[in-house]
Chain A
Amino acid sequence: MYLGIDIGSSSSKAVILNEDNEIVGISVKNLGTGTKAYKEVITDVMQQANIEDKDIKYTVVTGYGRITFEDADKQITEITCHATGVGYYLDDVRTIVDIGGQDSKVIKLNEKGQVENFVMNEKCAAGTGRFLEVMARVLGCGLDELSNLATKATKQVAISSVCTVFAESEVISRLSAGESIENVARGSHIAIAKRIMGMCNRVGYTPKVVMTGGVALNADMVQVLSTELGCEIEVLPNCQAIGALGAAILARRTYNKLEA
């Protein structure tokens, strides 16, 4: 059995693969680095797979928490792990958009599914999941409600500030000027989409485009981004755990010295 763990800034994920490359355990908790959530997801997948520590032959850890996690055999970046994880489901993906809590990235793959180039967001939180968290808080709704709200938007509201802090005050002033919550929710999706679009252009995106990470669960966000990109975006099953899945695949490959 092979364990892949992804300790992100706002969520923890784990996946266990068996010898036949089948997923036998998968778990996601919405708490990240600095919490004990990674322990919970590990316990959780072990129970699902019905195995003990000693049954794990190899462990790969990824995500922001990878540096401080000590029990893995190897750490590999989210970039390589996402590229590998996506390959589990599809072999014709050329562009991955991953919007994480703190980092967003656009990864360009070659025809072998290997990383050809990638760009990540700048140091600030614009264009990341954090931006949406802030927006949800200002709008007084849950993160998972943003999508539903945004689909009821009646017009496009532009949020021009790229900085999360400025965008927050911009949104507050929009709301106090009488703009509806629905329109502002859509506006915040458009703001992220524009940011991601810039990254896609930099990397030189080509279809097929898939989206991974927690933000991919937000259907309106995916819709807005695909309109912006002018092409369809596929959302993979277990989109939040793709990095952990990639880590588990790489654990299996490394242990068995398999080629990519």
Chain B
Amino acid sequence: MEQKILTSKELLNDLVDKHYEGALRAKAEGKPVVWATSICPQELLETMDLVTVYPENHAAAIGAKKEALKFIEHAEGMGYSSDICSYARVNMGYVDLKHSDELNIPMPDLIFCCSNICNTVIKWYENLAKELNIPLIMFDMPFNHTYEVPEHSVKYMRGQIEYAIEQLEIFTNKKFDYDKFGEVMERSNRTCEWWKKATDWAKVIPSPLNGFDMFNYMAMIVCMRGNADGERLFKLWHDELEQKAKLGKGPWNSADEEYRVMWDGIACWPHLSTTFKTLKKYGINMVTSTYPESWNVRYEKNDLDGMARAYASNYANRNLDYDTENVVKLIQDFKLDGIVYHSNRSCKLMDFRQYEVQRRVTEITSCPSVVFDGDQTDPRSFSAAQYETRIQALLEMMEKNKEAKRRG
């Protein structure tokens, strides 16, 4: 029974604690723990009641709590190159050190990896399975070079989902419950819908959503898509934003939203507050990114092909034409004044496309943009002064445009 009415932020914090404490407790009770990638078919794990932890989430949290360097340096000392994604380095360092002062996760008994986000995860997760000598379930999702996701990719994904079900049955020594699977599918879709609807409130001017909050809520769309807590959280968040929007409230109490930008790429977790405050200082609100769509994993209940297609169609796995179109649409839908591209040293897949997408998007929309160098968790790859110069330059370009519009 509800004791008091929680805000979504309080609920978020409670759920984050519950998620990590629950996983540690489960491990202590002898239950198996799964480590999975952020946009994997978690429906299967949820159906099997498997306790799941997401190393990317964990690494991001460690980064935000400024503890990443310890693990990164340890991993580099073990021989992992500094060119490897810093989530992987944090995680490999953690696997060896097994303790964080900030946030601990239980060691895995099963590795569950889907390469629809990048192919770094293939080697990272294979390596985990090998080092820890535990089973690995791998979803191999080749890059979609064509605009449409080809049918053979969908079939390939479906085949792998079916095969994964068999592997999970062997791992858990339990029959897969298809009725429950249907329910999980349904709930996962509802949660994703709430997530999308919540983040869509940022289309309103001023946006009731401060995009840096979205970064925080993102942790939960990764790990709670398939359960009732997740659905409750995102519905609540949606309702709060709806109310704020209807009252005409902007993102912050202390300042007005002057400019609306999109953030391309992952947050700079160790420098979250610097990156946020620098924008806010100039009245720039980050209203959206490519993430709302990334976890809008939608399909009909019991439609395995639909589910396969949804996972094969992830944004990170799409070609340049699709990416460009997507950003152009965000500019229109969210009435953006500019774009901040985070050239993230860790994430090669996102970086490789960035310059070309920027070039095409500028050509089509003339929307001003800047690129800054950083990294999602490695604090060494970011310079606050360089960031500020680029943001200020973006501001000056946006000011010019606004001025020109005012003059007509």
Contacts and interface: CB of A to CB of B under 8 A. Distances in A.
Nearest to A67: B388
Contacts of B359: 202, 204
Contact of A123 (B362, B383, B397, B400): B383
Contacts of A78: 389
Interface string A180-214: 00000000000000000000001010000000000
B355 A114 contact: no
A219 interface: no
A122 B382 CA distance: 10
B246 to A, nearest CB: 38
A103 interface: yes
Contact of A80 (B362, B385, B393): B393
B153 interface: no
Contacts of A114: 400
Given A119-B371, A122-B373, A77 B393 contact: yes
A64 interface: yes
Count chain B CB atoms within 10 A of each CB in A64, A67, A119, A123 and give the residue with the most.
Answer: A123
A77 B385 CA distance: 11
B396 to A, nearest CB: 5
A34 B362 CA distance: 37
Given A117-B362, A202-B355, A202-B359, A123 B386 contact: yes
A103 B389 contact: yes
Interface string B345-367: 00000000001000100100000
A123 B389 CA distance: 12
Interface string A75-96: 1111110000000000000000
B386 A79 contact: no
Interface string B118-150: 000000000000000000000000000000000
Q: How large is the interface on B (under 10, 10 to 19, 20 to 34, 35 or more residues)?
A: 20 to 34
Nearest to B366: A116
Count chain A CB atoms within 10 A of each CB in B371, B383, B390, B396 and give the residue with the most.
Answer: B396
Interface string B172-216: 000000000000000000000000000000000000000000000
Contacts of B355: 202
B404 to A, nearest CB: 9
Contacts of B393: 77, 79-80, 115, 118
Nearest to A80: B396
B396 A76 contact: yes
B343 interface: yes
B397 A115 contact: yes
Contacts of A202: 355, 359
B381 interface: yes
Interface in A9-44: none
A103 B355 CA distance: 19
A48 B343 CA distance: 45
B399 to A, nearest CB: 9
Interface of B: 343, 355, 359, 362, 368, 371, 373, 381-383, 385-386, 388-390, 392-393, 396-397, 400
Closest 5 CB pairs of A and B: A123-B373, A79-B393, A77-B393, A77-B392, A80-B396
Given A75-B392, A114-B400, A115-B396, 17 more contacts: A64-B389, A76-B396, A77-B392, A77-B393, A80-B393, A103-B386, A103-B389, A115-B393, A115-B400, A117-B362, A117-B368, A119-B371, A122-B343, A122-B373, A123-B383, A202-B355, A204-B359
5 contacts: A80-B393, A114-B400, A122-B373, A123-B381, A202-B355
